[in-house]
Amino acid sequence: MTSPAFDFDSVSLEWLRAKPGAKWRRTPGALAAWVADMDFAPPPVVVDALQRAATGGDLGYPDWRHITGGSPATDAFVERCARRYGWHIDEADTMELNDVVQGIQIVLHLCTQPGDRVVVHTPAYPPFLHSVHDSGREVLAVPAARSADSPTGWAFDHDALDAQLNSTPAKVLLLCHPHNPTGHVFSEAELRSLAAIAERHRLLIISDEIHADLTYAPAVHLPIALFAPQRTVTIHAASKAFNLAGLRYAIMHIGAAEVRSAIAQVPGHLFGAANLMGAVAAEAAWREGDEWLAAVLAHLDRQRTLLTSLLAEHMPSVGYSPPAATYLAWLDCRSLSWGDDPSVQFLQRGVRLSEGPNFGDEGNGCARLNFATSSALLREMVVRMGTPAG
């Protein structure tokens, strides 16, 4: 018999509605397919590690350095990067963070000036856009285009970017790899070409690789730092792949010397310190969570395929390419003529999706659906989405 922790089809609506987190609490009358949390309980190895820490009698200051690396979690991270990605890094170049977006904002704040441009692949994860705009920087967009020739269904015109940077210079390439919301996994050829563009135009690369462990074979995740080691800051977390976002823990690897020295000049307490439980959870996930990760990824792989057939049956005019990574489906609803924000209609029909326009102009007419749930609930969601509100 499959253990409940590995039986991702066993989640019930009653259990989800009783959970205290935002995803289901904020959608009392609807099915929740918005924020990027999975509907599953966290991996048992993580729960065990947290329980051991809680009952071990010491929740005082941990004996770790929190700015230059050296906690058990950074240690596990360094070891995992070598094992999974062939990416060999020095633990002294890591910095623990409270979350991924904090790392993005630290680097933008310290290494760019108001008015500087930041290259972003659009549609974009909304906090990318806020982080750039709210700090007075400007987005230089690289729009996604659907492409039958691309293995992921999506393509970006990097030659056009290269040419544009000659007349419209930028300071930073803020990469989301794998890409939220399209699920695009940048290939080795794309990463090499982006690294060359960054070199030619002196761009600092900030690469958010939080979804890396949710890459479906045959796609393969390669850190862009492999191709631009001295230009790149890479930010990672266990929170998406192992469903731990509330624990607030991330790691930034700083390959770019200018970022290291900019950070060194700022009082360390300004960045806060890592949370003991976040680090305990990340270490357990990265060292002992691979069996759970493989099981959840197999389930999500079935879900992304199931979504193809459910949409074909209930909403055939909605555009959808199964993502090459992530549990997020980017739905092109423009043929429905429901205006810029189709999530309004979906909510009236009883399913909460993420609002397309929040992902930038290319999000108009689109919505993002989170399919990290049971197959029965995914079916119910798409049936509701396709049924006019009564």
Ligand X SMILES: Cc1ncc(COP(=O)(O)O)c(C=O)c1O
**The token pair that represents 102 in the structure block:** 């904090």
Instruction: Tell me: does residue 106 bind ligand X (CB under 6 A).
Output: no
Instruction: Tell me: does residue 120 bind ligand X (CB under 6 A).
Output: no
Answer for which of 27, 131, 152, 180 binds ligand X (CB under 6 A) is: 180
Distance CA 294, CA 101 (A): 26
The nearer residue to ligand X, 350 or 356, going by C-beta atoms, is 356
Strand order in the sheet with 354-355: 328-332, 366-370, 354-355
Instruction: Tell me: does residue 259 bind ligand X (CB under 6 A).
Output: no
Cβ of residue 22: shortest distance to ligand X, in angstroms?
12
Q: Which of 151, 236, 163 is nearest to 193 (CA)?
A: 163
Distance CA 49, CA 283 (A): 9
Diameter of the chain by CA atoms?
Answer: 62
Answer for which of 100, 172, 174, 311 binds ligand X (CB under 6 A) is: 100
Instruction: Tell me: does residue 369 bind ligand X (CB under 6 A).
Output: no
Give the DSSP letter string of 318-338. Answer: SB----SBSSEEEEE-GGG--
Answer for which of 105, 122, 131, 239 binds ligand X (CB under 6 A) is: 239
Instruction: Tell me: does residue 176 bind ligand X (CB under 6 A).
Output: yes
Distance CA 257, CA 232 (A): 9
The nearer residue to ligand X, 172 or 315, going by C-beta atoms, is 172
Contact range with ligand X by CB under 6 A, out of 97-105, 153-161, 284-292, 295-303 = 97-105
Distance CA 6, CA 295 (A): 7
Query: Is-contact 371 327, C-beta < 8 A?
Result: yes
Nearest-CB residue for ligand X: 99
Contact range with ligand X by CB under 6 A, out of 98-106, 215-223, 316-324, 356-364 = 98-106
The nearer residue to ligand X, 345 or 373, going by C-beta atoms, is 373
Instruction: Tell me: does residue 99 bind ligand X (CB under 6 A).
Output: yes
Given the structure tokens 């360390």, which residue do they identify?
268
The nearer residue to ligand X, 304 or 349, going by C-beta atoms, is 304
Cβ of residue 149: shortest distance to ligand X, in angstroms?
25
Cβ of residue 211: shortest distance to ligand X, in angstroms?
6
The nearer residue to ligand X, 76 or 241, going by C-beta atoms, is 241
Binding mask 287-316 for ligand X (x = CB under 6 A): ------------------------------
Cβ of residue 248: shortest distance to ligand X, in angstroms?
7
Instruction: Tell me: does residue 372 bind ligand X (CB under 6 A).
Output: no
Answer for which of 107, 118, 203, 237 binds ligand X (CB under 6 A) is: 237
Query: Is-contact 16 352, C-beta < 8 A?
Result: no
Cβ of residue 368: shortest distance to ligand X, in angstroms?
10
What single letter denotes the amino acid at residue 329?
A
Query: Is-contact 118 108, C-beta < 8 A?
Result: yes
DSSP H helical segments within the chain, as ranges? 13-18, 22-25, 44-55, 72-85, 100-111, 126-134, 158-167, 188-201, 257-264, 276-288, 290-314, 343-348, 375-385
Query: Is-contact 165 197, C-beta < 8 A?
Result: yes
Answer for which of 76, 107, 214, 245 binds ligand X (CB under 6 A) is: 245
Size of the site for ligand X (CB under 6 A): 13
| Strand bridging mode 138-146 / 154-156 | antiparallel
Binding mask 121-160 for ligand X (x = CB under 6 A): ----x-----------------------------------
Interacting residues with ligand X (CB under 6 A): 36, 99-101, 125, 176, 180, 208, 210, 237, 239, 245, 250
